[in-house]
Chain A
Amino acid sequence: MIKEKIPSRQTLTQWCKEMDSAQSLGLRRSLMSQVAVKCLSLFSLIIGFYYFSNIAQDWVVNKTPATRGDIVGLSSCLALCWLFQGAFNALSSRGKVKALDKLEARLKQVFVARQHALIRQHSVYYWQTLWLQHIQAFTDWALEYRVQQMIAVIVPLLALAVIFYVNPVIGLGLLLTLPVVPLFMIIVGKGAAALHRKHFVALERLGSLFTDRLAALPMLASFQAHQKQTDLLKQASENLNARTMKVVSVAFLSNSVLDFFATLAVALVAVFIGFSLLGELTIGPTITLQQGLWVLLTVPLLLSEMKKLGQVYHQKAQAEAAQDELYPLFSIPIQAHAQDKTHSDEKVEGYFESINKRPSESLLTASNVNVFEMNASLYSSLSSCESETPVLLCADRLNVSKGDKILLSGASGSGKTLLLEALGGQRPASHKFNEPVVWITQHPVVTPGSVRENLCLDDSFTDEALNEVLQAVELGPWLTLLPYGLDTVMTDYPLLSGGEAQRLSLARALLRKVNIWLLDEPTAHLPDSQHHRLAQLINRLGENKTLIWASHKALPANWFTHFWAIKDGKVKVASMVSQNEDQEATNE
């Protein structure tokens, strides 16, 4: 199998910006409005603190109840703060739902554009994780972490401004010490990262041992290795825990630095204000209780938002992991773009053959065919960095006319499937068929629904049509044996042998009036006797279709009109005779 390269990595923020504008996710707007609302909420709270301290001053110093104005001020500020907080919560969840919707829609578009060519590269579990968790991780980061990140910068400035206004001395003191906090955090963070790198391999290996051994349970049972592996797990988890603690002991310091400054700031400010009030300290302007209390209440806001940022810090790492998987996928240009290109920008490229000028009988006339890897963008490959897009397969000239029968040969892993995928439009390539095709793959798909559903999918056909095609693929006798005929439900283990399942997919293909059949080793997993029967069937049924048949099993040469061979990433159109010999030679 030809390996596909992972594209160079962008930073998360850059990528996010791109995604946002490309997919109109509304991330930026949501982000800005959330930050604005949250800041307003906290600002009202700070003003509320002012009235609160006023009342306290009245109570304690003047020994009078609160004035009406103060009460109104306090209640309206707190109410505003509360309402803004509510609006923030609502905005946050709405923005997330919207972004998730858009991202899912986009993912589905990619699925539609690339189909089996994409899905077959990874396990179902991989796709599920990507779909369910990675998309969410990205949104969480974009709409939670980043919001908190901005708030953690803006709110301290706001608080500091108020403190400066009230008492410049305290303000100055805090201003001088505040930058120390991020500085320490960076130092600690770097230390923790270095430590993590040091233990990285061990942590990664030991961390996954439990799931690994769980997945191997039947094997362990049959080798009676459970005891030994339990001991091993025990040792491994001790080792893992020791290493993890080493890393987190440092990592926790970063949290403690924050806690240290937050707590000490409050304590020292309280003591300073107290002493100033007592007249023990006479630095700066004189302080009243009202001012002192206001400052005391505002000081925690300097660092509390940064603490909250620490609580969502894991989202960043998750989003980075998600980016690695999502980036190649989301950079896949959707089919529409490529088609657009062929229509509109022909003169610029000269790369695409004119589709309209082709003679009517010809389905594909192509020269300089290139097949690219999955996430190759035709835009970039054509404009600036053509050389950077690796070409997986190329061909000088490929012609397909209506009714052609083409045998595609090549060693396994040489790229037969890639070429078919490219021609069928599931893989980025310079050329593809411009009409629908039908695929028959190595592994026939049998969905858990009924026989009828298996054949119709989302279309509808008459029972006669269904019976007719089942007869045609020699599944007639099989159908009569089914308890409920066409409505028999296929289960996880359907009543089908491999050959029969492949016949079912042939029936599916026959139902659809599509002229081009792409056959990707349909008989690869069948024993020889079945291979011959099925191949003959395909040959007979495909008589008036255009066939491109990839196979490394022997097929009679007189079935075919053209022979394509793939070797070393090049498709060669071989002459009949030499191909014949070749074919026989490889089959021996």
Chain B
Amino acid sequence: MNNAKPAYITLLLALLHGVAGISILVISSWFIAVSAIAPVGFNYVIPAVVIRALALLRIASGYASMWVGHNDLLARIANIRLSVFSQLENAQINEKALTTEALAQHTEELASRWIAWIAPLSSATFIFTCLCAVAVGFGFPGAGLLIALFVVWSIALVLQGIGALRIAKRATHANAQFRQGSTNFLNSSAIWHLSTAFTNMREGKTTCADESHTLQGPERDVARNLETAEASAPDINIKDVSAKVVWLEKIAQKNTANRMAWWFQGMAFLLVVLTMSGAFSIASALLFTPIAIVVPMVLLAAPDWAGNAFSSISKFAQYKQSVKALQQMKATPIKMLCEREINTAVTLTEFSVTGRRTSKVNTNLPARGVVCVTGSSGCGKSSLLQGFAGLLPAHGKRKIDGVNLPPGLVTNWRYVEQEPVILSGSLALNLDPAGRGISHSEFITLMQELGLEKLLPLTTWVGKAGRPLSGGERKRVALARAILAKPRVLLVDEPFEGLDIHTQHRVCTVLNRYAKDNLVIIASHVTPKALVVRKNVQLDGASIVTVNGDHRATL
């Protein structure tokens, strides 16, 4: 991921921008100093032209470095993302914490390393080195102090780098903790009202309501707010769940950069005073010549042109964290199995999904027709379907016509999720994501059969930032997508939820027709009468038989 070509042009332009800036400062201060005591016949045209030329150079390089840098950044983001994406072909990210947004952010962090910290840091270093070299080379008074500042700057950078890395690590940790804590907290919202702290708070409020009667209007609001703010510890774990740690780490990251910049500013000012007081200046040939004010000028301006390096270091720390996060990204490959014809039956023996305490299933499924898997929510209907399709690892055996099927995803079996994924894209793209070139008339007929005429035309953009779809519409679009892929086995999870009777009927008709030649397995807690069910698999009564979790379903 890191082997993209270095962004030399970005770097070069940033250097040019920085060098031009500092040169203007140096040359113009020298120029007016020299002008003040100018001997007759002093050639003032050249410096004046140089100053103006440098100004133009700085403006041009400023714009160019922004433009080129950004262009390069975008190209890099695209490249990194594409490579991450192709790495994930036929794979699953099995880390819950690594959300897609986090991944997007990490890739951006990775791509932006040139403009975020490499270019600013190297340009500051380069300028510092050049200045020291020039100052020493020409024997400017105060050159030693400039070198001292360079040393201090470098040490401060290293120190801050170490600190920033530590903070970034802590921030990542705090973030993960907040995610976990708040997920548990928010998921239990339905039982918050049962916690005593909450009921106490409510009673507390009613009792103190009378006291505040004397206050009027907004004042009372404020008083009320203060009271409630103090009494706010209203839930089981609401006290424990706080984003404060995350914020504090973020603020700390900024603060260390600011603090370092502040110390550096102090140091620069101290050196300015030292140079100007003459405490350190050794008798130099250039003492009291116009060129002598160059070093103090540079020192005085140092917080401006070298101080930004400290916030770049913070970005470096974030970059390191992103690299780590991307390296740690674990993707499990999904094994693909070639399709196989089913002549008589699919058999499941002692089949259960790994890691979930679902019951073991023994059943025989016909080669054609609708099979209905029923059971209460949480009994493992979805897991069973996903395990059957090969999307989840499972114990036990899947057999086709008595021949065992190794674990993996069968290429022409399709699973339609309970909460189906709608791709951000046109409707046609959603119906044919693999680009098999299915004819549009086929799309339209099926859409009409499923009662989705409202979504037409096929160019309608759906998904994020497109036409919003209701739960039922999403389900039917996903169902249409699966059916258009002509799978041998179609697994549908809760197809009837959120549909009115009429639409349920339409969906049943489509499913019945498809089941004539194929196996359709439906997990649902309702079975519409219109559905021609060939076999029913009842997953309920999945009570525990033995303590170690080895329980079986009554089929």
CA distance A537 to B47 in the complex (A): 96
**In the complex, residue of chain B having the shortest beta-carbon distance to the beta carbon of A426:** B193
Contacts of B376 in A (CB 8 A): 497-499, 525-527, 530
Cβ-neighbour of B377 out of A56, A115, A255, A498 (below 8 A): A498
Q: Is the CB of A259 within 8 A of B58?
A: yes
Q: Is the CB of A337 within 8 A of B66?
A: no
Within 8 Å of chain B (Cβ to Cβ): is A225?
yes
A203 to chain B, nearest CB (A): 9
Cβ-neighbour of B391 out of A125, A222, A277 (below 8 A): A222
Do A253 and B193 contact each other (CB < 8 Å), given the known contacts A96-B251, A106-B229, A497-B376? no
Within 8 A of A (CB), among B196-218: 196-199, 201-202, 205-206, 209-210, 212-213, 218
Q: Is the CB of B194 within 8 A of A438?
A: yes
Q: Is the CB of A115 within 8 A of B193?
A: yes
Interface residues on B, range: 35 or more
Within 8 Å of chain B (Cβ to Cβ): is A439?
yes
B133 to chain A, nearest CB (A): 24
Q: Is the CB of B55 within 8 A of A74?
A: no
Within 8 Å of chain A (Cβ to Cβ): is B81?
yes
Within 8 Å of chain A (Cβ to Cβ): is B250?
yes
Contacts of A224 in B (CB 8 A): 336, 411, 434
Within 8 Å of chain B (Cβ to Cβ): is A436?
yes
Q: Is the CB of B243 within 8 A of A131?
A: yes
Q: Is the CB of B247 within 8 A of A100?
A: yes
Within 8 Å of chain A (Cβ to Cβ): is B266?
yes
Q: How many residues of A contact B (CB 8 A)?
A: 160
Q: Is the CB of B36 within 8 A of A223?
A: no
Do A259 and B59 contact each other (CB < 8 Å), given the known contacts A85-B265, A127-B182, A212-B463? yes
**In the complex, residue of chain A having the shortest beta-carbon distance to the beta carbon of B182:** A128
Q: Is the CB of B32 within 8 A of A270?
A: yes
Within 8 Å of chain B (Cβ to Cβ): is A244?
yes
Count, A-B residue pairs, CB within 8 A: 447
Q: Is the interface of B mostly helix, strand, loop or mixed?
A: helix
Within 8 Å of chain A (Cβ to Cβ): is B150?
no
B552 to chain A, nearest CB (A): 13
B499 to chain A, nearest CB (A): 10
Q: Is the CB of A459 within 8 A of B103?
A: no
Within 8 Å of chain A (Cβ to Cβ): is B525?
yes
Contacts of A249 in B (CB 8 A): 67
Contacts of B226 in A (CB 8 A): 24
Contacts of B544 in A (CB 8 A): 478, 481, 495
CA distance A253 to B60 in the complex (A): 11
CA distance A556 to B70 in the complex (A): 69
CB-based closest 9 A-B pairs: A270-B28, A498-B376, A289-B36, A119-B189, A237-B78, A225-B433, A267-B55, A525-B377, A225-B434
Do A275 and B28 contact each other (CB < 8 Å), given the known contacts A289-B33, A289-B36, A336-B209? no
CA distance A336 to B542 in the complex (A): 46
CA distance A108 to B538 in the complex (A): 43
Cβ-neighbour of B229 out of A102, A125, A499, A526 (below 8 A): A102
Within 8 Å of chain B (Cβ to Cβ): is A576?
no
B132 to chain A, nearest CB (A): 22
Do A241 and B225 contact each other (CB < 8 Å), given the known contacts A21-B218, A89-B255, A274-B44? no
B343 to chain A, nearest CB (A): 23
Within 8 Å of chain B (Cβ to Cβ): is A447?
yes
Within 8 Å of chain B (Cβ to Cβ): is A217?
yes
Within 8 Å of chain B (Cβ to Cβ): is A219?
yes
Within 8 Å of chain B (Cβ to Cβ): is A201?
yes
Within 8 Å of chain A (Cβ to Cβ): is B151?
no
Q: Is the CB of B48 within 8 A of A275?
A: yes
* Interface-lining segment among A146-154, A227-235, A318-326, A359-367: A227-235
Cβ-neighbour of A457 out of B78, B194, B243 (below 8 A): B194
Within 8 Å of chain A (Cβ to Cβ): is B88?
yes
CA distance A237 to B21 in the complex (A): 35
Q: Is the CB of B243 within 8 A of A447?
A: no
- Per-residue contact bits, chain A 230-254, to B (CB 8 Å; 1 contact, 0 not): 1011100110110011001100110
Q: Is the CB of B288 within 8 A of A60?
A: yes
Cβ-neighbour of A275 out of B44, B198, B248 (below 8 A): B44
**In the complex, residue of chain A having the shortest beta-carbon distance to the beta carbon of B276:** A55
Contacts of B420 in A (CB 8 A): 219
Q: Is the CB of A217 within 8 A of B71?
A: no
- Per-residue contact bits, chain B 326-360, to A (CB 8 Å; 1 contact, 0 not): 00000000101000000000000000000111100
